[in-house]
Amino acid sequence: MTHAACSGRSLLPESSVDAVDEILGGTAIVILTWNQREETRRCLQSLADAGYALSRVVLWDNGSVDGTEEAILSEFPDVVFHRHPSNLGVASGRNAGASLAMRRLSPSHLMFLDNDMVVTPGFLEALCEPFAADSRLAQTLAKIRFLAEPERLQSAGGIFVNFGRGIKRTIGNGEIDGGQHDLCRPCLPCGGATLVAASVLRELDGFDPIFDPYGTEDLDFSCRVRSAGYRALYIPEAVVYHDYQPKLEGKYIGQSGLATAAERWMILVERHATLPQKISFWISSAPSKLIRAIGREVIRGNAAALQGIPQGISNYINRLARMRKARQRTPDVGIETD
């Protein structure tokens, strides 16, 4: 592969360099926020410091009450800002922000960026470049480091998933970045620094609101992208920093968190696993994981959280009937196409 984003230097012909500039100019950055005024201000400032036009940024506010609106309108007047009266959730909020971007900015590509991230100069150019030479490319994903520990990786290549064995892990998570993940490669994007072709987002109707208020909507979307025959690439030259801290109920995951995790995973298995993978998961992996979870939480003194597992299974069964019907969406939760 000859992209600068994959080789560290540009070998693209001049016409392709012009195409990259066109993609960059046609990209809209979509940021979702909810009661994180200071994190959002820091993110926008990092974009401005890196030289990106804030007039190409759409900030969708999911009903913040911490003064986010006043701060953004005062400090960053060029940003396309919209405050919704309520919290739509992550999937629906991103869809709404993308729909607003499509109406106002007519983008060819959409950069979905978490509001608690800090970008580095050139990250967006690196994400744009591979699109100039691959018509089936739908997504490019940045390298994500922890803001509090800049040398440590949060993500370096998306997600590894094995549905049959019940495995989902973030590639590179927790590792010191010594260049071991510096090769451009195909990936399954999952995270808040992903560039997406607008045409593919429209075709697949965006993120699925079934995962609201939060969950694995990004992984589900990436699986649907792959199933539709499109490609995704991890671009290690595109670096962002994430102010990420797990938000758990106490020291360990609580009942509601365990219920959500169980329900979300079963939805992913139902949608994206092959028949042999489903059989393997339900016959072998699921019982084994349940036994390990019981032992782990009992040792931790967190046995009450285990009630979340049957709760998650019940939630999944209730949702399954709705999943098999045609999805009915409103402009707030789906991608507008007109």
Tell me the pLDDT tens digit for each residue of 167-201: 999 999 999 999 999 999 999 998 789 999 999 99
Q: Determine the Cα–Cα distance for residues 99 and 223; give it in Å rounded to an integer.
A: 21
Q: Is residue 249 part of a domain?
A: no
Pair (260, 233) in one structural domain:
no
Pair (72, 15) in one structural domain:
yes
Q: Which of 238, 20, 21, 50 is nearest to 129 (CA)?
A: 20
The predicted structure's pLDDT at residue 50: 97
pLDDT interval class at 246 (50, 70, 90)? low
Pair (44, 115) in one structural domain:
yes
* Most confident residue range from 14-28, 163-177, 249-263, 320-334: 163-177
Q: Is residue 147 part of a domain?
A: yes
The predicted structure's pLDDT at residue 18: 80
pLDDT at 234 > cutoff 60: yes
Pair (226, 285) in one structural domain:
no
The predicted structure's pLDDT at residue 300: 73
Q: Is residue 66 part of a domain?
A: yes
Q: What tokens appear for 217 in the block?
A: 């909507």
φ/ψ of 124, rounded to 5, equals -75, -35
Q: What is the pLDDT of residues 29-70, one digit of tens each?
A: 999 999 999 999 999 999 999 999 999 999 999 999 999 999
Q: Is residue 332 part of a domain?
A: no
pLDDT at 249 > cutoff 90: no
Structural domain that includes position 309: 255-323
Q: Is residue 337 part of a domain?
A: no
Pairing mode, if any, of strands 137-146 and 193-197? antiparallel
Buried b vs exposed e over 123-141: b needs ≥16 C-beta within 10 Å? bbbbbbbbbbeeeebbbbb
pLDDT at 11 > cutoff 70: no
Pair (233, 295) in one structural domain:
no
Sequence-distant (6+) residues with CB within 8 A of 166 are 265, 281, 285, 286, 288, 289
Q: Report the pLDDT averaged over residues 2-28.
A: 66
CA dihedral 270, 275, 277, 282 (to 10 degrees): 70
Pair (200, 295) in one structural domain:
no
pLDDT at 248 > cutoff 50: no
Q: Is residue 11 part of a domain?
A: yes
The predicted structure's pLDDT at residue 294: 75
If you count DSSP H runs as helices and E runs as strands, how many of each does the chain have, helices first?
12, 12
Last residue of one domain, picked from the residues 242, 267, 286:
242
Pair (51, 186) in one structural domain:
yes
Last residue of one domain, picked from the residues 219, 242, 265:
242
Q: Determine the Cα–Cα distance for residues 219 and 188; give it in Å rounded to an integer.
A: 7
Q: Is residue 336 part of a domain?
A: no
pLDDT at 323 > cutoff 60: no
Pair (196, 317) in one structural domain:
no
Residues 3, 131 contacting (CB under 8 angstroms)? no
The predicted structure's pLDDT at residue 45: 98
- End-to-end Cα separation, the chain, in angstroms: 36
Q: What tokens appear for 176 in the block?
A: 């010191």
Pair (137, 196) in one structural domain:
yes
Last residue of one domain, picked from the residues 193, 208, 242:
242
Percent of the chain with pLDDT over 90: 68
pLDDT at 277 > cutoff 80: yes
Q: What tokens appear for 168 in the block?
A: 């989902």
Count up the domains in the chain and report the number.
Answer: 2
Q: What tokens appear for 77 in the block?
A: 């007047």
Pair (225, 302) in one structural domain:
no
- How does the average pLDDT of the chain come out, rounded? 87
CATH of the domain at 119: 3.90.550.60
